[in-house]
Structure 1
Amino acid sequence: MASQPAGPVFLASYPTAAEGPLHGAAFLYDNAAAAIALVGCGRTGEARRIGDAILLALDNDRFWHDGRLRNAYAAGAADAKPLKLSGWWDPARGQWLEDRYQVGSDVGNMAWAMLALLALDRDGAGAAYAAGAERIGRWVAGMRDERGGGGYTGGTFGHEPSPEALRWKSTEHNTDLAAAFTRLEESTGRAMWRERAEQANAFVRSMWDGKCGCFAAGTGEDGVTRNPILALDAQVWPLLALAGGNRRYAAAVPTVEGRLSVQNGFAYGEARDGIWTEGTAQMALLYSLSGRDTRAIFGAIGTLRAPDGYFYATNTQALPTGFMLQTDPTKPRLYYRLPHLGATAWIALAERRFNPFTGTTALPPAPAQP
């Protein structure tokens, strides 16, 4: 933050990335996680700079004015109108290109923007942040789905004016939304947000497999058929985010330890080809808030620090996730050994024992009995 120009700013997700889709891209999720980590570290003034950039993005998109945000923006000062989106020059084509995922709007990323704004609201930074979170929440509410376990579909993919509607549903995204809508209800007192939180929560419950002790990653395009991939964040986040989740879904912890552990850390998926730094920090936070010994897991995290102070996204050159790229379904989605804002933010959260889903140093309590 200290190296950035004054005023609202988005931070580069991969500050050392070479020219291409990741170069100069400030992913919304990474910046939201960084803002919450700054709040957790008592650096609200710096967190506000990212929060203010998010509010400017709501008002100054080049096309949308309905409460949605993009999945990524151009890193740096958020002072252009409209706000600059990330992209890169392709010399072979002789044209400027934009990634179709980055210009889209995943509901999970919208939820993280809401959580960041609500963390600022809770910290007394001003009412504008809660109002911005409500604007985003109203757009997300349009993704409500009645198929199968209900919940919310994935959002949109691709460029305006007619992006593709994503009909699949994600356990991770709905966990994010359950937490964000709960926080909105706490901030505004409006019961409609509690109802929307329960809609997202109901979907997450429907993805739980008691025999496996695990969550399905979500559904296919039909909104019903389960995606059987065992993804680390889909196992950890419901325990951190949902009321009573750490007890209701306690069986997920030994499942993760038995099927995703690697070198005192954790992989993204069952291939176990290397440590996923961000997910390992998520497990470190869960361990810490559950009163478990964290020395080994923080030891593994410590080996992943880059010379610039960031942490690498993984300890291997390319870590598979088990998913394919939306932009090219023939290619796997990978994490690369690059210094990563999102991983660094999660490590700060874990070290501070600050739960981004609650804005406190605690797991969400079990719901009150009627």
Structure 2
Amino acid sequence: MSKRWLVLAGIGMAFSMTCTRLAVASDTPRQQLANETCSALKQAAAAIPGDGPMILPSYPGMDGDDAAARALQNVGFVYDNALAGIALGVCGAPGQARRIADAFLLAPASDATYKDGRLRNAYRSGAVQGNKVMLPGYWQKQGNYWSQDPYQTGTASGNVAWAALLMLTVYDNTHDSRYLDGAVAQLKWIAAHTANATAPAGYEGGVFGYDHKQIVQHWKSTEHNIDIYAAATWANRERADPAVARQAQIAGAFVGAMWDGKQHRFFVGTGADGKTIERTKSGLDEEIWPLLAFQPHPAAWRSVWAFVDANHRFGDGYGFKRQPDGMWTEGTSQVAAALQASGKPVPDSLWGAISAQRSAGGMLYATPQARIVTSFAIGPLSTYDDFFYYHDPHLGATAWAALAAKGWNAFVGRTIAQPVSAGKP
């Protein structure tokens, strides 16, 4: 505001009142989204009986007898549950967040096959019974056998890092050392099983497949290394540990090596050999998560927005892949959070695009389209790029929307410094 406005007190007061009205109007879509998504997450948690450890279903209400639907029924992905736990804490339900973290503490100890402390990519949703967190699966009538999904039984390094981020969040709230110990244990599993010093040095994808037949995945993901950097940095901040500090340095250096100053973007990582950089594909998350995870981050990284808008924009939202075929709700919320972290206003149209995905049950649809393509494969057994998102209510999409609307940075465990909102003078 210029000095002449300060001289004209009466006009200045009127101008201030106008700004206040604009601020309220501009904050309404965001506040409504925060209220709706927090309510949906709280209802989902309250639906799991008791107050003990639990896993929330990633796709609530999923039904159908086809193989694709049955593979997701009563399944809670660790990544989605970590996000939901963090969001529940921000939404004022820290006890429910702790229930999920408690399940993450129990799962490695109750694993029937592996005793090395790993978490799997998914577990059976619901209240944990008898201190045993069960793997998902279902009885296949045709052929009479127990069917499991090889991705769900595997362990991805990025998912493990997100579990650590939830446990660190709960530790900050409770100061119970079990959660800090649990986070560090997961980071050390990553270091022991996925570290690869071949240039560019970093952490590999993890393991994929059924028990005793798991395939080591040697590709290195920018997104996974972002997660590992954030969790290791946070854990080392809470309890200094040279090994964990070194882990943060390695993961951070990998992310930095993926920045391309000419295109002003991050590469997605490497191919299956762990050294050849994939320069064509782009995933929205790896482009913008560094703006949240690295605090502070190099100023040059903020130029990524030109690439993101040119390559990932879809209508009022954003899509997963380069030149997307639809809006990715989760990623659009990630954009809202990253815009805040880089000091940019979030347009009301973007909040509106996210809110429009609210299902009858309260959870947000993963995408408004029937199906969107990611241009990535689920695992090494895939014969084509078979990783899709569908028009189903999704826990992860709802949690990311709540985090963005509440202005919370899940990578560092604190509120995002708020820029001036779109539409305000």
Q: Report the TM range for the smaller structure's normalisation.
A: over 0.9
- Select which of 296, 299, 307 maps to 2:352: 299
CA-to-aligned-CA distance 1:79-104 (integer Å, 9 cap, x gap): 24542111123222221100001000
> Structure 2 matches for 1:1-370, cutoff 5 A?
1-6=45-50, 7-18=52-63, 19-80=69-130, 82-142=132-192, 143-227=194-278, 228-245=280-297, 247-289=299-341, 290-326=343-379, 327-362=381-416
Equivalent residue, structure 2, for 1:368: none
Name the amino acid aligned to 2:94: T
State the TM-score, normalizing by the size of structure 2.
Answer: 0.83
Q: Tell me how far apart the structure 1 counterparts of residues 133 and 402 of structure 2 sit (CA, whole Å).
A: 28
Name the amino acid aligned to 2:330: E
Bigger CA drift: 36-45 or 70-79?
A: 36-45
User: In 1, are the aligned partners of 2:336 and 2:346 still within 8 Å (CA)?
Assistant: no
Q: Shift of residue 78 of structure 1?
A: 1.6
Name structure 1 gaps, 5 residues minimum: 364-370
Q: Shift of residue 232 of structure 1?
A: 0.1
Q: Tell me how far apart the structure 1 counterparts of residues 58 and 271 of structure 2 sit (CA, whole Å).
A: 28
Q: Shift of residue 195 of structure 1?
A: 1.2
Q: Tell me how far apart the structure 2 counterparts of residues 58 and 305 of structure 1 sit (CA, whole Å).
A: 34
Q: Tell me how far apart the structure 2 counterparts of residues 76 and 16 of structure 1 sit (CA, whole Å).
A: 13
Bigger CA drift: 54-63 or 334-343?
A: 54-63
Provide runs of 4+ in structure 1 moved above 3 Å.
Answer: none
Q: Tell me how far apart the structure 2 counterparts of residues 318 and 90 of structure 1 sit (CA, whole Å).
A: 26
CA-to-aligned-CA distance 1:310-331 (integer Å, 9 cap, x gap): 0000010111001123142335
Q: Tell me how far apart the structure 2 counterparts of residues 257 and 296 of structure 1 sit (CA, whole Å).
A: 15
For the structure 1 residues 271 and 13, does the alpha-carbon distance in structure 2 shift closer, same or farther, using more than 3 Å as the test?
same
Q: Shift of residue 37 of structure 1?
A: 0.7
Give percent identity, aligned residues only.
39
Name structure 2 gaps, 5 residues minimum: 1-44, 64-68, 418-425
Name the amino acid aligned to 2:56: L
Count of matched residue positions in the alignment of Structure 1 and Structure 2: 363
Name the amino acid aligned to 1:361: T
Q: Tell me how far apart the structure 2 counterparts of residues 246 and 291 of structure 1 sit (CA, whole Å).
A: 16
User: In 1, are the aligned partners of 2:313 and 2:323 still within 8 Å (CA)?
Assistant: no
CA-to-aligned-CA distance 1:243-273 (integer Å, 9 cap, x gap): 3336241111111011110111000012421
Q: Tell me how far apart the structure 2 counterparts of residues 203 and 191 of structure 1 sit (CA, whole Å).
A: 18
Hey, which of these two has a bigger chunk of helix by percent?
2
User: In 1, are the aligned partners of 2:106 and 2:132 still within 8 Å (CA)?
Assistant: no
Q: Shift of residue 217 of structure 1?
A: 0.8
CA-to-aligned-CA distance 1:102-134 (integer Å, 9 cap, x gap): 000000000000000000011125111001111
Q: Tell me how far apart the structure 1 counterparts of residues 169 and 389 of structure 2 sit (CA, whole Å).
A: 28
Q: Shift of residue 162 of structure 1?
A: 4.0
Bigger CA drift: 111-120 or 228-237?
A: 228-237
CA-to-aligned-CA distance 1:196-237 (integer Å, 9 cap, x gap): 101001111111111111111110111111123111001011
Q: Tell me how far apart the structure 1 counterparts of residues 107 and 163 of structure 2 sit (CA, whole Å).
A: 11
User: In 2, are the aligned partners of 1:56 and 1:78 still within 8 Å (CA)?
Assistant: no
User: In 2, are the aligned partners of 1:185 and 1:193 still within 8 Å (CA)?
Assistant: yes
User: In 1, are the aligned partners of 2:103 and 2:133 still within 8 Å (CA)?
Assistant: no
Q: Tell me how far apart the structure 2 counterparts of residues 313 and 209 of structure 1 sit (CA, whole Å).
A: 30
User: In 2, are the aligned partners of 1:9 and 1:75 still within 8 Å (CA)?
Assistant: yes
RMSD (Å) for aligned C-alpha atoms: 1.4
CA-to-aligned-CA distance 1:44-70 (integer Å, 9 cap, x gap): 111001011111102111112212100
User: In 2, are the aligned partners of 1:62 and 1:82 still within 8 Å (CA)?
Assistant: no
CA-to-aligned-CA distance 1:113-165 (integer Å, 9 cap, x gap): 00000000111251110011111111111111111210101111112224111
User: In 2, are the aligned partners of 1:171 and 1:203 still within 8 Å (CA)?
Assistant: yes
Equivalent residue, structure 2, for 1:366: none
User: In 2, are the aligned partners of 1:240 and 1:246 still within 8 Å (CA)?
Assistant: no
Q: Tell me how far apart the structure 1 counterparts of residues 375 and 74 of structure 2 sit (CA, whole Å).
A: 26
Name the amino acid aligned to 2:53: P
SS of match in other structure, 1:166: strand
